[in-house]
Amino acid sequence: MRPLAIFGGTFDPVHIGHLRAAWEASEALAAEVRLVPAKIPPHRPQPIASADERVAMLRAALAGQDRLQLDLRELDRAGPSYTFDTLKSLRAEIGGRRPLVLMIGADAFAGLSTWHRWRELFELAHVCVLTRPAQIPAMPDELAAVVASRSTEDIAELHAEPAGRVLDMVVSALGISATRIRALLAAGREPRWLVPQALLDDPVLLEPYRRGSRG
Ligand code: ATP
C-alpha cells in the first residue's frame, strides 16, 4: 500500500533544504507526502512569522506541483503541536493497515526522546530520518536502543508494515537553515536561491523577517 508520509516543522520560512529533502524522500518511498506546519512547536522557540504567514509562504512554495501537499491539522488544534496527536489523528483517518511515515531531519531526530509520548510514535508510524549537513547531536542511549531494535535499510519493509521501522535516508546535502535565512533578511540581505523564487517574487511574504532590519 502506498505510504502516507508527513514532514513537520515550523517552516519559518520554508526553504529549499526542506523542499528538496521532502521531494527526494517522496520519490524514494513512493509515498504521498504532506508538509505539516506546527502552530505552537513544543520543543523550540516560537516562530517569528504567524501561522497564517507561514502557510502563505508554504502555499507559494508548493504551487505548480502536486507531489508535496499541505496538511493544516496542527493549526486547527489548540495548545502545543504534538506529533503524537498528529499521527494519531492521521492513523484514525487512514485505518490500521496503510503505512504511515514520519519524515524528520537527523538533527531533530536526535532530540526525539524529549518529545511527548515519544515511544508511542513508533507504534503509530515508521520514522524516516533524513540526512542533514549540520551538527547532529549524539542520540541519548534510550533513543539509540530503540533505533537499534527497529532499524532497517529496506524501503520495502516500510511498505509491508503499517508502522514501527526506522530508516535512514540520504538526501542531497543542502546546508540551508531557516535560522540563517532569517538572519540574512534581518540584515537587509536577500536569500536568493536559498528559498523558492515564489517567496522573493511576492513583496509581502518575507516581510515578517525584514521588519527587524528596519528598526
Ligand atoms: P530553524 O533554523 O529555524 O531551526 P530549520 O531550517 O531547521 O529551522 P524546521 O522547520 O525547524 O527548519 O525543520 C523542519 C524539519 O526539516 C526538521 O525535521 C529538520 O531537521 C528538517 N530540515 C530543515 N532543513 C533541512 C535541510 N537543509 N536538509 C534536511 N532536512 C532539513
Ligand 1 mutation pick, 129, 132, 135, max ligand atoms within 8 A of CB: 132
Q: What is the pTM of this model?
A: 0.96
Quote the CA–CA distance of 113 and 146 in Å, as a whole number: 10
State pLDDT tens for residues 90-131: 999 999 999 999 999 999 999 999 999 999 999 999 999 999
CA 96 to centroid of ligand 1, rounded, Å = 29
* 210 domain-assigned: no
Residue 49 lies in a domain: yes
> Which CATH number goes with the domain that contains 167?
3.40.50.620
In a domain, 212, yes or no: no
Whether ligand 1 lies within 6 angstroms of the CB of 43 is answered as no
Residue 72 has pLDDT above 60, yes or no: yes
Give me 206's grid cell. Answer: 518575507
Our answer on whether the CB atom of 51 is closer than 6 Å to any ligand 1 atom is: no
Rounded to 5 degrees, φ, ψ at 214 are -90, -15
| Cβ of 107 below 6 Å from ligand 1 | yes
Structural domain contains residue 199: yes
User: What phi and psi values does residue 180 have, to the nearest 5 degrees?
Assistant: -70, -40
Ligand 1: distance of its center to the CA of 152 in Å?
Answer: 23
Q: Is residue 159 part of a domain?
A: yes
Would residue 211 count as lying in a domain? no
Q: Which residues contact 17 (CB under 8 A, 6 or more apart)?
A: 132, 174, 175, 176, 177
Rounded mean pLDDT of 133-152? 96
Expressed in percent and rounded to 5, the helix, strand and coil fractions of the chain are 45, 15, 40
Distance CA 190, CA 181 (A): 8
- Mean of per-residue pLDDT scores for the chain: 96
Closest by CA to 32, choosing from 73, 64, 4, 69, is 4
| 63 strand-pairing partners | none
| Contact between 23 and 31 (Cβ < 8 Å) | no
Is 171 among the domain residues? Answer: yes
Number of domains in the chain: 1
Residue 215 confidence (pLDDT): 43
Q: What is the mean pLDDT of residues 137-157?
A: 97
Supply the range of the domain harboring residue 135.
4-205
Phi and psi angles of residue 125, each rounded to the nearest 5 degrees, phi first: -150, 165
- Measured CA to CA, the distance from residue 112 to residue 167 in angstroms comes to 15
Q: Is 112 in the pocket of ligand 1 (CB under 6 A)?
A: no
